């Protein structure tokens, strides 16, 4: 289950892309400068014909912006059938990112898994530190589960997905949902797709030192984002809503697909969470894209290895949501 130390070189095509369009997550210049750099990254058009709708969901601190995506061959919920629904939470170290920076990724999930996707624009640190993001994505998930019919979606086939910080939030929502179901309430989550998440809050894992100066995300950036999001907490004893791998009970969680990258400081974090889930009897698949970096979803369609790794995760989501039906 463990993702072993990666001795494979960085993918050659990815290396050329990074040289042509350099990008490194960093706190240098402050949070607004970091947000600007992420927003200004070039992005390829992807299924611009998908029907989408921007909505607002009542949240604990006011309306939460969200965007609904319908898969191809539907027209904004006006088709005769129903689709499963996937909550998508964007990455960005809990401090960066929005509906626009992850628009292509949300579209990829809608198309690749044949699912309605609801992308959530949760509150960001440092203006809104932990637990603001958790409370927003949880509120949004509960609302969508109760109102899925508004989008011709089937709330009984509800998955959670997210990249990086969003993967962490997806894992938290999956655990909260399990607890609610055990208490006789909902929503029930049937699958969790976690792209290179942070779940353990343990920088002693080998990949943090092996990939301390990795492309895209390095150890310094992780430390800065951690201060912005959770600097007021004791990192040696994080709550489970911050580090889902520290939860005392991982039994009964939804099946999971955990994607990690060989050249990512968070590689062993995701791998350790997969080990813990397996030990708790949870169905889990771990995939280590050995030649790729943190954030490789953003290079799908450009770097073949990233495309292959992305397609693999989306295929797992599709299979889970359409089990017993057309796939």
User: Residue with structure tokens 């400081």?
Assistant: 265
Q: Give the tens place of pLDDT for each residue, 68-79.
A: 999 997 645 445
Residue from 305, 299, 322, 266 nearest 108 by CA:
299
Contacts of 61 (CB under 8 A, 6+ apart): 123, 128, 132, 135, 136
Cβ pair 320, 159 in contact under 8 A = yes
Check pLDDT > 90 for residue 142.
Answer: yes
With a cut of 60, say whether residue 5 has pLDDT above it.
Answer: no
CB contact at 8 A, 65 and 54: yes
Token digits for 86? 């996937």
**Chain segment 229-260, per-residue pLDDT in tens:** 999 999 889 999 999 999 999 999 999 999 99
The pLDDT value recorded for residue 98 is 98
Q: Name residues whose C-beta falls within 8 Å of residue 247's C-beta, 6 or more positions apart in sequence.
A: 175, 240
**Whole-angstrom Cα distance, residue 182 to residue 193?**
22
Other Cβ atoms closer than 10 A to 289: 25
Phi-psi region of 55 (alpha: psi -120 to 50; beta: other; left: phi over 0): beta
Question: Which pLDDT score is estimated for 8?
Answer: 83
Give the model's pLDDT for residue 109.
Answer: 98
Contact 251, 282 (CB under 8 A): yes
Our CA angle for 319, 324, 326, nearest 5°, is: 70
pLDDT at residue 58 above 70? yes
Indicate if the pLDDT at residue 106 is higher than 90: yes
Catalytic residue numbers read: 164, 264, 294
**Calpha distance 253→127 (Å, rounded):** 31
* Residue 90: burial class (beta carbons within 10 Å; 0-12, 13-18, 19+): buried
User: Strands of 284-293's sheet, edge to edge?
Assistant: 52-59, 62-69, 116-120, 83-89, 153-163, 191-195, 256-263, 284-293
Which stretches within 260-303 are classed as H helix?
267-279
* Class of the CATH-defined domain 12-321: alpha beta
What's the chain's Rg over C-alpha atoms? Answer: 18
């Amino acid at each position: 289950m463990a993702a072993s130390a990666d001795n494979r070189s960085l993918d050659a095509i990815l290396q050329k892309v990074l040289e042509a369009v350099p990008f490194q997550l960093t706190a240098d210049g402050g949070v607004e400068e970091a947000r600007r750099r992420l927003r200004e990254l070039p992005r390829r058009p992807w299924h611009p014909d998908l029907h989408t709708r921007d909505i607002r969901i009542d949240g604990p601190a006011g309306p939460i912006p969200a965007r609904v995506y319908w898969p191809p061959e539907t027209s904004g919920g006006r088709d005769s059938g129903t689709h499963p629904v996937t909550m998508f939470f964007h990455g960005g170290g809990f401090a960066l990112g929005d509906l626009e920076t992850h628009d292509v990724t949300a579209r990829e999930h809608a198309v690749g898994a044949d699912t309605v996707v609801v992308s959530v624009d949760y509150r960001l640190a440092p203006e809104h530190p932990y637990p603001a993001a958790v409370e927003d994505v949880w509120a949004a998930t509960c609302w969508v589960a109760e109102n899925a019919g508004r989008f011709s979606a089937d709330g009984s086939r509800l998955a959670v997905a997210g990249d990086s910080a969003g993967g962490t939030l997806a894992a938290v929502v999956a655990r909260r949902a399990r607890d609610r179901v055990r208490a006789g309430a909902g929503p029930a989550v049937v699958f969790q797709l976690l792209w290179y998440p942070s779940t353990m809050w343990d920088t002693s894992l080998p990949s943090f030192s092996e990939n301390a100066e990795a492309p895209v995300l390095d150890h310094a950036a992780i430390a800065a984002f951690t201060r912005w999001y959770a600097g007021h907490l004791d990192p040696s004893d994080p709550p489970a809503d911050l580090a889902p791998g520290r939860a005392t009970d991982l039994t009964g969680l939804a099946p999971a697909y955990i994607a990690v990258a060989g050249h990512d400081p968070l590689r062993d974090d995701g791998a350790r969470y997969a080990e813990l889930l397996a030990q708790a009897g949870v169905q889990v698949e771990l995939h280590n894209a050995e030649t790729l970096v943190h954030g490789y979803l953003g290079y799908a369609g450009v770097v073949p290895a990233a495309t292959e790794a992305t397609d693999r995760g989306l295929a797992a989501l599709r299979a889970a949501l359409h089990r017993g039906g057309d796939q």
